[in-house]
Amino acid sequence: MVCGIGYAWTSPSIPKLNGNVDPQNNPLSRPTTILEDSWITALQNLGAAFSPLFIGIAANKYGRKKTLIVFSLPMMVSNIILIFANSVSHFYVARFLVGIGTGCVFSVVPLYVAEISQVTNRGFTSMFLGLMITSQQLFVYVIGPYTTISTLAKISLIPSVLFLLTFGFFIPESPYYFVMIGNQVEAEKSLAKLRQKSKSDVLKELTDIIKSVEQSKTEKSSLKDLIKSKVVTKCLLTAVGLMFFQQFTGILAIVPYLQTIFDATNSSIPADVSVMMVGLVQFITTAITSRIVDKVDRKILLIASNSGILFSLICLGTYFYLQTNQFNVDAIFWLPIASIILYIICFNFGIGPIPWTIVGEIFPPNLKTHLNGIVTFLNIIFGFLIAMFFPTLSLVLGMALSIWIFAAFTAVSILFIVYFLPETRGRSFLEIQIMFRDGRSK
């Protein structure tokens, strides 16, 4: 939830900081520049790229639960700083801190959720990451334009407190982690609390977990051996490919700058209303996806998702092209918001959440934390580059060409999914490893 607030925060806040909207609510003594806006937006991603470097070590040594709790603290401090921020440097620090927690969210949450879930509902439970993020993005889109930056930060502290109280006191550690450190007694207790099933069923699942962990220990864990292992290399390339295309569909050029993009369209629909409509659609589609992700093949969802994104980006780029070249676009005033709504719908039922689901499934248990950290680091670096340079790119190349570049990457991503991505729905961790070893895609 805090991560979602961080990603959506820039949409209502950047126009306040640069003086385009409600200059009287700007906590700074002067409007921010385009470069400062870019840094404020992108520093969440830069901070998120920093934390995965330590996540693998922490999650393996201290456990998934303690790691999540510790890395939630910088996110709490971030909002405390925003309450009192009155200089650009304050916003830089706050955005970097929320990014540190964001890196932990995307490194550890998919891993933890996959490890505590059953095969039959692993896709469904993995969708809660996206559901919580989009619910808070909608929240920020609705109240952000009508509150000060300080008030929004105060409200944003609530999820941090709720997390520490609920997760800290009531949620068990991953049974996989306990098995990996040789504590089968605690692993059984964790499973019993998670499953609420008979002891025989718990012991049967515990046996499967032990087999999976023991199988994974045959894989070497040094960097040299990781490179030599064809199975691990295939898993890593698959995950990195998914994350690259997830970011280069342009999501971090769209969501953080929603209000700015809608302002640039000069549409008769107010920008803040358009943003709220997009946020509502984003939340609803994520909720729907959570119900179908275990019923429809991952590849089908991803192909349909990226095909819809490709169409929406072509349409949005066309609108800006016509507008820039002095065509009368009054008759298609609805096209920008329709295109972005279609984009959000398609992103949220496929390329947005499903790569995180797949990443939580495909890595060997003994290497998951290290490889998740690498994949998360690269995903966030890709996002940082887009968030940082999109404003400048759109000024230099124009909004139309910038958006069409994302469309080209999306077209390539469809080919990647069709020819290189294996299907993981309904398979155990051990079955997925065998599938990668044998080079099967179905």
| Structure confidence by residue, pLDDT tens digits, 274-310 | 778 877 887 887 777 767 766 778 889 999 999 999 9
Percent of the chain with pLDDT over 90: 32
- For 147, the 3-state DSSP assignment is coil
| Structure confidence by residue, pLDDT tens digits, 25-77 | 889 989 999 889 889 988 988 888 877 777 878 888 899 999 999 999 999 99
Q: DSSP for 157-183?
A: HHHHHHHHHHHHHHPPPPHHHHHHTT-
> Strand locations in 337-408, DSSP E?
none
Tokens of 74: 């910088």
Average pLDDT, rounded, for the chain: 85
Q: Which domains does the chain have, with CATH numbers?
A: 2-438 (1.20.1250.20)
Number of residues written out for the chain: 442
221 exposed, middle or buried (CB, 10 Å; 0-12, 13-18, 19+)?
middle
Calculate the alpha carbon distances from 363 to 210, 230, 337, 374, 423 in Å.
Answer: 16, 12, 39, 12, 14
Where residue 366 falls among pLDDT bands split at 50, 70, 90? low
pLDDT (0 to 100) of residue 438: 67
pLDDT (0 to 100) of residue 344: 86
Could you tell me where the DSSP H helices lie in 217-334? Answer: 223-228, 230-247, 251-254, 258-265, 271-292, 298-324
Most confidently modeled of 115-129, 171-185, 193-207, 414-428? 171-185
| Structure confidence by residue, pLDDT tens digits, 215-271 | 766 655 555 555 567 778 888 889 999 999 999 998 877 776 666 667 766 666 676
Residue 413, pLDDT > 80, answer yes
Q: CA 36, 39, 45: angle at the middle one, nearest 5?
A: 165
pLDDT (0 to 100) of residue 137: 85
Instruction: Output 437 or 176, whichever has higher pLDDT.
Output: 176
